[in-house]
Amino acid sequence: MTKMSEQPQEKIEPRYRVRLAIYYGSEQQQLMTNYSVNMNTGGIFIESNRILPVDTPLVVEFMLPGKKGKLITCKARVAWTNEPGDRKSPQLPAGMGLQFLGLPLDDLHAIRDFLEFGELSPTW
C-alpha cells in the first residue's frame, strides 16, 4: 500500500494577462504609475525598471474596467522582484510581484469577477 503525502497540497490560482494602469507608492499622495502584466486575486505583477526591495510596503490603486468600473485601493507588499540583470522569470519583463494585503471582501469579489468573466486568458 502506497502512503500518500501528508502535507496539504497548496491550491495554485491561475494568473491572468491583464494590462492596467497601476498607481503605487509608500504614500497615497505620491503614487507612481506603471502597468500590470498579470494578476490574480492574491496579487499583481507590474512592469517597472524602478525595482523596490522585497517586503517594501505599498499602497496600490487601480481601476477595474467594465460597465461597473471599480476603483481598487489596498495595501500591498513587494513579494518578489524580476531584476533587469537577474530575471527569476525570463518570460516576464523587469518588474515586481505585489501581494495584496487586507483586500476588502467586496474588492476581492470584484477582482475575481473581472478575472473570471472578463474574457481573459490564464497564464499559469
Residue 20 covered by a domain: yes
Query: Cα separation of 88 and 86, whole Å?
Result: 6
Query: Cα separation of 122 and 112, whole Å?
Result: 13
The predicted-structure confidence for 47-98, as pLDDT tens digits, reads as follows: 999 999 999 999 999 999 877 789 999 999 999 999 988 888 889 999 999 9
The total domain count for the chain is 1
pLDDT for res 120: 58
Residue 46 covered by a domain: yes
Residue 9 covered by a domain: no
Terminal C-alpha separation, the chain? 34
In the structure grid, which three cell numbers stand for residue 34, read together?
Answer: 506603471
Query: Cα separation of 70 and 83, whole Å?
Result: 31
CATH number at residue 40: 2.40.10.220
The predicted-structure confidence for 100-114, as pLDDT tens digits, reads as follows: 999 999 999 999 999
